[in-house]
């Protein structure tokens, strides 16, 4: 099933999710909070995580009265983390629009993110109860740990692939796993909750690897943000780590010198670094690593009950890897 067919399959639920996002998520009696919230919601996005919550909920028998608000809560949490990330990373673009902190300032961005977290918790408690809230709380702890681990590794001379995987497991994969988990949790098929969570974890690992690949290789107008951000910020992601593990002494020295040079130098040398990474199979290796996680996710999903939901989940898995190729 292609991505358009997946969208068509969940369109009604997604429209209901948008209603919850605008009516309960971004809405506040304080106009500034509403303005910043509407700014990031209006930028759109793939609504990838809500789709996973919707599909896992449908497959596991979670009623619409629960799966739709839970799907909205996942997107609110995701958007809140993006508001924080853009401030920490000093990003200028988000989904093709000016980053919120550039329009309203860092303080407004942080406070709006905190408001979205609070709104998400209220929605989760009402729709999924304490079991769902416990899952989300554990995930938020993991996200903060992942962001902090990434921050602490900025400027290090080198990073092992195992360290990178630990960061993305916490920073990205856990929330995607949780999107599947809380969709399934209030349903009638308890035996599917753990496999659904595992499917999301494998999908999430691939999703972040694909994102890190796109940060080097994507068309900026399609990506919706400036490419090369990770390299300019001195971050080790899998394309760079994989290339460094494969290249000879000369290319290795050159890559590390470019990475550890002054920030303005990294801006100017991004093209050269990109060529060195491609030459030493950094991009191809990253794609293969993401592909391996997708294969594992599809293997898990193939054991789910047959039907449109299973096919849609497998379609989303293929979308994650296809967008990086």
What pLDDT, in 10s, does the model give residues 239-295? 999 999 999 999 999 999 999 888 788 888 999 999 999 999 999 999 999 999 999
Each residue's pLDDT tens digit, 203-245: 999 999 999 999 999 887 666 667 898 898 888 999 999 999 9
pLDDT for res 103: 81
Q: Give me the chain's average pLDDT, please.
A: 91
Architecture of the domain spanning 3-322: Orthogonal Bundle (1.10)
- The whole-angstrom separation of Cα 125 and Cα 123 is 6
- Prediction pTM value: 0.93
3-state secondary structure of 283: helix
pLDDT for res 152: 87
Name the pairing type of β-strands 93-94 and 97-98.
Answer: antiparallel
- pLDDT exceeds cutoff 70 at 322: yes
Q: Which of 47-61, 81-95, 154-168 shows the lowest mean pLDDT across its residues?
A: 81-95
pLDDT for res 325: 62
* CA–CA distances in Å: residue 81 to residues 162, 229, 230, 294: 24, 17, 17, 24
Share of the chain above pLDDT 70, in %: 97
Using an 8 Å Cβ cutoff, are 227 and 218 in contact? Answer: yes
Q: What is the average pLDDT across 34-58?
A: 88
Q: What residue spans define the domains of the chain?
A: 3-322
- pLDDT exceeds cutoff 80 at 296: yes
> Who's near 176: CB < 8 A, 6+ residues apart?
48, 49, 52, 200, 201, 203, 204, 207
- The whole-angstrom separation of Cα 7 and Cα 21 is 18
Query: Cα dihedral sign for 264, 266, 270, 275?
Result: positive
Q: What are the tokens at 130?
A: 């304490």
Q: What is the average pLDDT across 183-205?
A: 96
Going by pLDDT thresholds of 50, 70 and 90, the confidence category of residue 26 is: confident
């Amino acid at each position: 099933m292609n991505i358009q067919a997946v969208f068509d399959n969940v369109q009604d639920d997604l429209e209901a999710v948008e209603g919850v996002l605008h009516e309960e998520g971004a809405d506040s009696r304080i106009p500034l909070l509403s303005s910043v919230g509407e700014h990031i919601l209006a930028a759109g996005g793939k609504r990838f995580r809500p789709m996973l919550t919707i599909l896992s909920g449908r497959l596991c028998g979670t009623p619409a009265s629960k799966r739709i608000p839970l799907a909205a809560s996942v997107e609110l949490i995701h958007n809140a983390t993006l508001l924080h990330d853009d401030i920490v990373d000093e990003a200028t673009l988000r989904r093709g629009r000016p980053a919120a902190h550039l329009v309203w300032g860092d303080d407004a961005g942080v406070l709006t993110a905190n408001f979205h977290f609070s709104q998400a918790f209220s929605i989760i408690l009402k729709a999924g109860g304490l079991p769902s809230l416990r899952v989300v709380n554990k995930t938020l702890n993991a996200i903060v740990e992942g962001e902090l681990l990434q921050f602490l590794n900025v400027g290090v001379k080198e990073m092992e692939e195992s360290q990178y995987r630990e960061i993305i497991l916490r920073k990205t994969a856990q929330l995607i796993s949780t999107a599947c988990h809380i969709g399934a949790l209030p349903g009638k098929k308890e035996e599917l909750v753990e496999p659904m969570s595992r499917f999301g974890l494998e999908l999430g690992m691939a999703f972040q690897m694909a994102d890190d690949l796109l940060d080097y290789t994507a068309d900026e107008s399609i990506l919706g943000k400036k490419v090369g951000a990770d390299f300019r910020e001195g971050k080790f992601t899998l394309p760079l780590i994989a290339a460094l593990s494969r290249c000879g002494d000369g290319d290795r020295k050159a890559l590390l010198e470019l990475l550890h040079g002054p920030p303005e130098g990294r801006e100017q040398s991004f093209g050269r670094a990109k060529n060195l990474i491609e030459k030493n199979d950094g991009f191809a290796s990253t794609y293969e690593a993401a592909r391996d996680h997708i294969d594992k996710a599809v293997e898990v999903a193939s054991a789910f009950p047959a039907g449109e939901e299973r096919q849609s989940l497998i379609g989303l898995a293929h979308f994650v890897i296809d967008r990086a190729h």
